Amino acid sequence: TQLLEQSPQFLSIQEGENLTVYCNSSSVFSSLQWYRQEPGEGPVLLVTVVTGGEVKKLKRLTFQFGDARKDSSLHITAAQTGDTGLYLCAVDTGTASKLTFGTGTRLQVML
Amino acid sequence: KAGVTQTPRYLIKTRGQQVTLSCSPISGHRSVSWYQQTPGQGLQFLFEYFSETQRNKGNFPGRFSGRQFSNSRSEMNVSTLELGDSALYLCASSLLGRTNTEAFFGQGTRLTVV
């Protein structure tokens, strides 16, 4: 059983469309992070959410942490080809720098 | 400033051999973590080193080991390689390795075991 389940697993959309990616768990977390990994690269941190119900915006990306701090969503408005990549949610379940990653959502944005 | 550097980028080994991967963290960062990424299991935590001491260990067999040097550079070693060890091995560094601090990842070493 995965601690963090992401959905959908794969997403292929046209440029300009909107999309939402979900990260769900039955556990409560003090914070949650979202990463994007492009082909041939390591993951890059996009955002950390720490408060239940928190909404953070990063240009066209909107991140929300669930009220109960068990789930999170990432919404992309007007997707661009540069948004293509693997989106990963992660939590720090250990004492330090021990990240547990979600199953991942692979996004392909086409022209 | 320079990012996290992993060498080599690609490696092909034969079953039964051993391999050593290297990671140079961002200057000043004292925490180095290692992860294995495979299509089937995703990204999984291997171990974390801080000031030359292993602080955390994931659920991997003893064939996987690591160490950290006084300059914070880290190496991981996999002995008696198996086909299932084929993966992208990622290293991440952070300043102090505290909870909720940002981890910076290298580009990874892609290991293929044949």
What average pLDDT does range B55-70 have in this prediction?
95
Residues of A in contact with B100 (CB under 8 A): 30-31, 48, 50, 92
Q: What does the H/E/C string look like for chain B? A: CCCCEEECCEEEECCCCCEEEEEECCCCCCEEEEEEEECCCEEEEEEEEECCEEEEECCCCCCEEEEECCCCCEEEEECCCCHHHCEEEEEEEECCCCCCCCCEECCCEEEEEC
Residues A47-81 have pLDDT tens digits of 999 999 999 999 999 999 999 999 999 999 999 99
Chain B CA closest to residue A46: B102
Give the B-side interface with A, CB within 8 Å. 4, 31, 33, 35, 42-45, 48, 50, 55-56, 58, 90, 92, 94, 96-108
> In Å, how far is B105's CA from the nearest CA of chain A?
5
Q: Do B101 and A97 touch (CB under 8 A)?
A: yes
What average pLDDT does range B44-63 have in this prediction?
93
Instruction: Decide which of A10 and A95 is more confident.
Output: A10
From CA B43, how far away is CA A90, in angstroms rounded? 10
Residues of chain B above pLDDT 70, percent: 96
Q: Do B55 and A96 touch (CB under 8 A)?
A: yes
Which pLDDT score is estimated for B99?
65
| Predicted confidence (pLDDT) at residue B1 exceeds the cutoff of 70 | no
From CA A37, how far away is CA B9, in angstroms rounded? 16
Residues of chain A above pLDDT 70, percent: 95
Instruction: Decide which of B97 and B52 is more confident.
Output: B52
| Predicted confidence (pLDDT) at residue A1 exceeds the cutoff of 80 | no
Averaged pLDDT score across all residues of chain B: 93
Candidates A65, A97, A100, partner chain B, best to mutate (most B CBs within 10 A): A97
- The partner residue sitting opposite A96, judged by closest CB among B4, B31, B102, is B31
Q: How many CB pairs under 8 A join A and B?
A: 76
**pLDDT confidence tier of residue A96, bands split at 50, 70 and 90:** low
Which pLDDT score is estimated for A40?
87
From CA A2, how far away is CA B40, in angstroms rounded? 12
Q: Do A101 and B44 touch (CB under 8 A)?
A: yes
